[in-house]
Amino acid sequence: MADAAPHDRRRLVIDSATESCSVALFEDGALIAGECLMLGRGHAEKLVPMIAALPDRGRAATILVNSGPGSFTGIRVGLAAARALALAWNATVRSYHSPDLIAAMARAQHGGPVAVDVVMTGGHGEWFVRPFDADGLALAPLASLSPDAALARLSAPLVAGSQAAACADARPGVTAMPLWPDARQAGLLPATALGDGAAPAYGRAPDARLPGGVLPA
Amino acid sequence: MALILGIESSCDETAVAVIDGSAKTLADRIVAQRIASQDEAHRPYGGVVPEIAARAHADVIAPMVAATLADAGLTLDDMDAIAATAGPGLIGGVMVGLVTGKALAMASGKPLIGINHLEGHALSPRLADPTLAYPYCLLLVSGGHCQILEVIGLGQYRRLATTIDDALGEAFDKTAKVLGLGYPGGPAVERLAREGNPRAVPLPRPLVGSGEPHFSFAGLKSAVLRARDSGQYAPADLAASFQQAAIDCVIDRTRGALAACAPNMTALVVAGGVAANAALRGALEALAGEAGLPLVAPPVKLCTDNAAMIGWAGAERFATGQSDPLDLPARPRWPLDDSAAPVRGAGVKA
């Protein structure tokens, strides 16, 4: 029996949901190439060239994409790229959420099991918040909260994410770990954090009001 | 044979098409096309909500590419290039279509061609009518755009007029809102206008007869609002009188533009969503006759936003060897005539 083509053993990871923009190519679970840029804006220009710079233009049998939350536009850029590549390569798309990867990165950086509150920049001045136990199990659903409400939710000794420093400033005693999702660290994700398909996790409803300023139901 | 995959997502329609650029008839040129309208999603809001539009594009665009290729009996490998709208338009939606196009192009090793949505409209008459040659005088009228251009050649445009406030389609939509006709408003105003008297309501014709070449519809829309609030007029008369006033403005401005065009125009061409308005087409037919030119108007299905026109513009550019890099930016504003002088009040519609 002939050996499988390299891309059959490869997994491409795409993460453009937040201020960072990263890609990674894994083969048999080992990272073989990747790049992570702190862009802020411009993911739609950078992402595809970053993938094209990977070995074999990033071709893989499985595409793993960050489906959010983060910036509405960044989420869509990643999903659009992942779905189009899957169509072109007849690949399978799977997804994960930003807080899961940030929590996994925080545990790895900490060096062992630790409870983590992930606090990330949201929209309209709100923060996305999700707590994880020491084994990486999410303890509550994702919430989009005002900073005060987010701070009131903190319970773990470690806060990770783009608003970690702000949390530590407001809550002395909390250890801050400023982190953004990095596709090269996707190997840290527990299997339970991987979902089939790639449904967007915007974390917030569209900013739209019905005539008369009424919020949609 | 040059097969081009066209992708359009600049406003509230997601569209994908396969175009055969070497075919000689419209029927053969559009190998397959799918259009997903978002009208139902935006109707409760009375207009297009950019974030809702962008989410809807992201939800449907990849399956639509797959389905359109299947309709054509072709695969991505059969395509010669990928053409995607790169602007102008609602930037969230443009990015979805453009990134999809980039990823497809990169993965398949095909060239990417970023298309100006307005160029798609401007060249759509050439898709429909293989005999239409450059140069021609183009009236481009849609919900977001209202301008008259000399189309000198591929990528060569001279703007003769633009709007200083509302686009023509925008004026129709706002009038529909005033009359409680719902969204999208243009076709609803046209339907109601058929039952009314176009001379019943005295409405202004902004800028008609003035030396300024541009359009203005904001005052007309406000006059419709005042006339409605007076309680003197039936809705059908308001719709018919508004439509007639708008058409009078368009004809006056277009007559002036034709006089300012180079003498070698091959046709007066109308494109964009409002080109589907039958009363406007009739008036333009008469004007073209006055000028001794044929009126060329694409079929109604090619007037509203579609991907066939994007694929066709891609085919014209592909034929000249053009392509774009994978870091091509999406552009919310992208005038066809970059050298045109700024016009007071004109923004994205310029």
Residues A71-115: tens digit of each pLDDT: 999 999 999 999 999 999 999 999 999 999 999 999 999 999 999
pLDDT at B350: 43
- Chain A residues whose CB is inside 8 A of the B67 CB are none
User: Using CB atoms, which residue from A72, A86, A208 is nearest to B45?
Assistant: A208
Do A80 and B99 form a contact (C-beta atoms < 8 A)?
Answer: yes
The CATH T-level fold of domain A98-177 is Nucleotidyltransferase; domain 5 (3.30.420)
Q: For residues A67 and A198, is the Cβ–Cβ distance under 8 A? A: yes
Q: Which of A47, A51, A83 sits opposite B62 (nearest CB)?
A: A83
**Residues of chain B neighbouring A208 (CB-CB closer than 8 A):** 45, 49, 51-52
**Interchain pair A48, B61: CB under 8 A:** no
From B262's Cα to the closest Cα of chain A, the distance in A is: 39
Asked whether the beta carbons of residue A84 and residue B54 sit closer than 8 angstroms, the reply is no
HSE (side-chain half, CA atoms, 13 Å) at B343 = 24
Structure-token match 């993911």, residue found? A43
DSSP A124: T
Between A11 and B145, the higher pLDDT residue: A11
CA–CA distance, A191 with A187 (Å, rounded to integer)? 10
How close does chain A come to B41, measured CA to CA in Å? 12
How many Å apart are CA B314 and CA B115, to the nearest integer? 7
Beta strands in chain B (DSSP E): 3-8, 13-20, 30-37, 81-87, 112-116, 136-141, 146-153, 156-162, 268-271, 295-296
Residue of B65, B95, B329 lying closest to A87 (CB–CB): B65
CB < 8 Å to A209, chain B: 45
Residue B231, sorted as left (phi over 0), alpha (psi -120 to 50) or beta, turns out to be: left
User: Over chain B, what is the mean pLDDT?
Assistant: 94
The conformational region for residue A137 under phi > 0 = left, psi -120 to 50 = alpha, else beta, is beta
> Helix, strand, coil shares of chain A as percentages rounded to 5?
35, 25, 40
Q: Which helix (DSSP H) or strand (DSSP E) does residue A50 occupy?
A: helix A43-52
Strands (E), chain A: 10-15, 20-27, 30-38, 62-66, 92-96, 116-121, 127-132, 143-145, 158-160, 175-177, 195-196
Mutate to test the interface with B, among A10, A59, A77 (most CBs of B within 10 A): A77
ipTM higher than the 0.90 cut? yes
pLDDT at A2 over 80: no
The average pLDDT across A183-209 equals 92
Q: What is the pLDDT of residue B37?
A: 87
Q: Are strands B156-162 and B146-153 parallel, antiparallel or unpaired?
A: antiparallel
Closest of B127, B150, B171, B84 to residue B349, by C-alpha:
B171
pLDDT at residue A1 above 70?
no
Q: Which residue of B has its CA nearest to A80?
A: B100
Torsion over CA: B256, B259, B265, B268 (sign)? positive
State whether A206 and B55 contact (CB < 8 Å): yes
Query: Residue B190 annotated as binding?
Result: yes
Which residue segments constitute the domains of chain B, with CATH numbers given? 3-124+301-335+344-349 (3.30.420.40), 134-297 (3.30.420.40)
DSSP reduced 3-state for B79: coil
CA distances from B297 to A29, A63, B141, B285, B316 (A): 57, 45, 12, 10, 19
Mean pLDDT of the region B2-28:
95
Neighbouring CB atoms inside 10 A of B66's CB total 15
B10 is in an annotated binding site: no
Within 8 A of A79 by CB-CB distance, chain B residues are 58
Residues of chain A with C-beta less than 8 angstroms from the C-beta of B58 = 76, 79-80, 200
Confidence of residue B232 (pLDDT cuts 50, 70, 90): very high
Region of poorest pLDDT, from A59-63, A99-103, A119-123, B47-51: B47-51
> How many angstroms separate the CA of residue B280 from the nearest CA in chain A?
31
Where exactly does CATH 3.30.420.40 map onto chain A? 6-97+181-196, 98-177
Find tokens 């759509």 and name the residue. B124
pLDDT in tens, A34-58: 999 999 899 999 999 999 999 999 9
pLDDT for the residue B48 = 83
Q: What is the pLDDT of residue A215?
A: 77
Please give the full DSSP string across B44-67, using - where no structure is assigned: GGTS--HHHHHHHHHHHHHHHHHH
Cβ separation B58–A80 shorter than 8 A: yes
For residue A204, the model assigns a pLDDT of 86
Say if residues B166 and B184 touch (Cβ distance below 8 Å): no
Cβ neighbours, 10 Å, residue B260: 13
Average pLDDT over residues B280-300: 96
Residues of B in contact with A89 (CB under 8 A): 107
Range B225-241 average pLDDT: 97
Question: Chain A interface residues facing chain B, Cβ-Cβ under 8 Å?
Answer: 44-49, 51-52, 57, 59, 72-73, 76-77, 79-81, 83-89, 200, 202, 206-211, 216
> How close A170 gets to chain B, by Cα (Å)?
33
Farthest-apart Cα atoms in chain B, separation: 64
Lowest mean pLDDT of A10-14, A80-84, B176-180, name the range. Answer: B176-180
Q: How many helices (H) and strands (E) does chain A have?
A: 5, 11
pLDDT digits (tens, 9 = 90+) for B42-71: 888 877 888 899 999 999 999 999 999 999
pLDDT at position B346 is: 57
Tokens of A130: 């999700």
What is the band of A212 on the pLDDT scale with cuts at 50, 70, 90? Answer: confident
Task: Determine the distance in angstroms separating the CA of A176 from the nearest CA of chain B, rounded to an integer.
Answer: 33
CB distance B240 to B197 below 8 Å: yes
Query: By three-state DSSP, how is residue A94 classified?
Result: strand
Percent of chain A with pLDDT over 70: 98
Taking residues B85-108, report their average pLDDT: 97
pTM of the model: 0.93
Pair type for strands A175-177 and A158-160? parallel
CATH class of A6-97+181-196: alpha beta
Smallest CA-to-CA distance from A106 within A120, A94, A93, A92 is with A120
pLDDT score for B349: 43
> Whole-angstrom Cα distance, residue A51 to residue A64?
13
Residues of chain B positioned with their CB less than 8 A from the CB of A214: none
- Could you tell me which residues of chain B have a Cβ less than 8 Å from any Cβ in chain A? 44-46, 49, 51-52, 54-55, 57-59, 61-62, 65-66, 76, 92, 95-96, 98-104, 106-108, 325-330
Size of interface A-B (CB pairs under 8 A): 103
Residues B298-341 have pLDDT tens digits of 998 899 999 999 999 999 999 999 999 999 999 999 999 988 98
Q: Say if the Cβ atoms of A86 and B62 lie within 8 Å.
A: yes
